[in-house]
Amino acid sequence: MGKFVDRPKYICAMGGAVATLNALPGVVPILHAAAGCGFNISNAINGGGGYVGSGYCGGQSLPSSNVFEKEIVFGGEGRLEQQILSTMEIAEADIYFVITGCMVEMIGDDAVSVVKRLNKGKRLFAADTGGFRGNSYKGYDIVLSKLFSEYVQTGLEKDERLVNLWGIVPVQDVYWKGNLRVLKKLVEGLGYKVNTFFGEDETLEDLKESSKAILNIVVSDTYGIDAAKTFKEVHDTDYITTDFPIGDHGTARFIKEVGTALGASNEVINALIKKERKRYYGYLERVVDAYSDFDLQRYAVIVGDANYTQGLTRFLSDDLGWLPELVIINDLLEEEQKEFLRRKFSDYESGIKPELVFDTDASSVLKHINRHWEVNKNPRYYDSMTPAFLIGSSFEKETAQKIKAQHLSVMYPVSNRVVLDRAYAGFEGALTLTEDIFSVLLESR
């Protein structure tokens, strides 16, 4: 029997698909699932996603076939067809996208062929997203792959100044929209137009013509890779994967990697880094006095997903001069992915080598902290891991209290903050992150 996951920090594949589709402009998802699926998914998206809200046609307004026993016994394709047609009549959208839950897949309902039969062209799509296929990240990959292979036009002439950027998963990265805005601006700084699909001012037309891009930048080594492979297969566009950048050390690398892949000159790359650094340190230096006067250096424990943990740890270690002690990644990962990720946590300029733990149980954080740092058993002298700061999700709030550390929710689920256009990526995001972290430290003043 497989190991169960205690306190997962994601939803099922269909949940990831709903979040992804809700984040696209002009798209209405149609769920082919039991009534509970849409309800639970909506709650998990809204409650864990910094109160992202229902959007145009999400939340409790999600169209769903709401199958019951009758559909399970006799098959639910007829019910789905009915739901598609009524949704298309009532809800205005450019694209309707059918996604399937566990039970309809188990009984063999074929949503893809229902959609094919209805013959609505590039307005109606379907993908199998049964929850058992994986978690939110899988749903993101499934939806993107489907759109890349069926919606994005083939045979368009390449635009030498156009790139696509993804790998920042809507809702699983609670700050996705802000982060995409920041990263888009950075790549634009290299002289390119950028499609991010889910960011500000993005259109479906841009997505449809995204095959014109000369490069796909996947800002993750873990998420969106399957979609990049599909894109390469269908549209013959190469892709690179980069680390999710936070702060100077992460973002300068990001600019160099992307710039080099695009063949930008060193002058252009360095000029952009210089310009960004000037602004960044111009603001960051303001906090130096308080940092020194109040002694705001902290031991840090970082708990969360594969994208953020590496970006945060590099930022804390090399930008902020903190002492990251322990990093816990809660994602479901393959052995090769873990091996690859280990290398990301070992080359800090500070020379710090935090302990890296892979544990899918978010409930085990305290256990790892107590193992990592000897618990106080009242000896005469005790070297405690204080003052400490825990960066994680809302799940870690209590754990932080138990170890008397301060806490900031950065990764999903974020239930104790409202998130609008905030970003933590890049130089700009690192300033916001610094504000947020130091505001927590100084809140009692």
Partner 1 sequence: MANKKIKQIAIYGKGGIGKSTTTSNISAALVKQGFKVMQFGCDPKSDSTNTLRGGKYIPTVLDTLREKTTVKASEVIHEGFGGVYCVEAGGPAPGVGCAGRGIITAVQLFKQQRVFEELDLDFVIYDVLGDVVCGGFAVPIREGIAEHVFTVSSADFMAVYAANNLFRGIHKYSNAGGALLGGVIANSINAPYAKEIIDDFVKQTKTQVVEYVPRSVTVTQSELQGKTTIEAAPNSEQAKIYTRLALKIAEHTESKVPEPLDVHELREWASKWADHLLALETGEVTSKASCI
Does residue 91 touch partner 1 according to CB under 8 A? no
Please give the biggest Cα pair distance in the chain: 78
User: What's the order of all strands across the beta sheet hosting 124-127?
Assistant: 27-32, 95-100, 124-127
Alpha-carbon distance of 249 to 157, in angstroms, equals: 36
- Site membership for partner 1, residue 77 (CB under 8 A): yes
Among 39, 47, 72, 151, binds partner 1 (CB under 8 A): 72
- What phi, psi does 200 have (nearest 5°)? -70, 145
> Phi, psi at residue 404, to the nearest 5°?
60, 35
Interface with partner 1 (CB under 8 A), residue from 69, 295, 334, 443: 69
* Bridge partner residues of 355 (DSSP): 326
Report the alpha-carbon distance of residue 128 to residue 146 in Å, rounded: 10
Residue 332 touches partner 1, criterion: CB under 8 A: no
The CB-of-78 to partner 1 minimum distance in angstroms stands at 9
Residue 35 engages partner 1 in binding (rule: CB under 8 A): no
Report the residue from 1, 2, 4, 108 that binds partner 1 according to the rule CB under 8 A: 108
The Cα 47–Cα 419 span in angstroms is: 11
Name the one range near partner 1 by CB under 8 A: 36-44, 103-111, 379-387, 437-445: 103-111
Q: Of the candidates 250, 403, 385, which has an alpha carbon nearest to the alpha carbon of residue 312?
A: 250
Of residues 107 and 240, the one with the C-beta less far from partner 1: 107
Vertex 30: Cα angle to 26 and 36 (nearest 5) = 130
**Stretch in the footprint of partner 1 (CB under 8 A) among 36-44, 71-79, 150-158, 278-286:** 71-79
First and final CA of the chain: distance in angstroms? 52
Token code pair at residue 73: 């016994």
Residue 74 contacts partner 1 per CB under 8 A: yes
Nearest to 251 by CA among 181, 182, 322: 182
Residue 109 sits in the site that holds partner 1 (CB under 8 A):
yes
Which of 71/318 has CB closer to partner 1?
A: 71
| Residue 327: strand, helix, or coil | strand
Shortest distance (Å) from residue 81 CB to partner 1: 13
| Choices 102-110, 262-270, 372-380, 417-425 (CB under 8 A): range interacting with partner 1 | 102-110
Q: Which span (32-40, 64-72, 303-311, 403-411) binds partner 1, by CB under 8 A? A: 64-72
Site stretch for partner 1 (CB under 8 A), options 104-112, 157-165, 212-220, 270-278: 104-112
Residue 204: CB partners within 8 Å, gap ≥ 6? 24, 25, 26, 27, 94, 95
Rounded Cα distance between 211 and 164, Å, is 9
Q: CB–CB of 270/420 below 8 Å?
A: no
81 near partner 1 (CB under 8 A)? no
**In this chain, which stretch among 31-39, 73-81, 88-96, 188-196 interacts with partner 1, using CB under 8 A?**
73-81
Give the dihedral sign, CA 68/69/71/75.
positive
Residue 106 C-beta: closest distance to partner 1, Å? 7
Q: 106, 288, 420, 442: which one contacts partner 1 (CB under 8 A)?
A: 106
Is residue 105 involved in binding partner 1 (CB under 8 A)? Answer: no
Question: In whole angstroms, what is the distance from residue 305 CA to residue 173 CA?
Answer: 9
CB of 70 to partner 1, least distance (A): 7
Structure-token pair, residue 137: 């990240």
303 vs 393: CA distance, rounded Å: 7
Contact flag: residue 112 with partner 1 (CB under 8 A): no
| Lateral strand order in the sheet of 355-358 | 355-358, 323-329, 299-304, 388-392, 406-409
Residue 125 Cβ vs partner 1, minimum distance, rounded to whole Å: 22
Question: Judged by CB, which is closer to partner 1: 66, or 409?
Answer: 66
Peptide bond into 387 cis (omega under 30): yes
State yes or no: residue 26 binds partner 1 (CB under 8 A): no
Pick between residue 32 and residue 314 the one whose CB is nearest to partner 1: 32
The Cα–Cα gap between 307 and 309 comes to 6
CB 330 → partner 1: shortest distance, Å?
33
Which is nearer to partner 1, 108 or 155 (by Cβ)? 108
Q: Could you tell me which stretch among 100-108, 128-136, 265-273, 407-415 binds partner 1 (CB under 8 A)?
A: 100-108
Q: Which range of residues in 66-74, 253-261, 349-357, 412-420 is near partner 1 by CB under 8 A?
A: 66-74
Give the number of residues in contact with partner 1, rule: CB under 8 A.
13
- Are 299 and 388 in contact by the 8 Å Cβ rule? The answer is yes
What residues line the site for partner 1 (CB under 8 A)? Answer: 69-77, 106-109
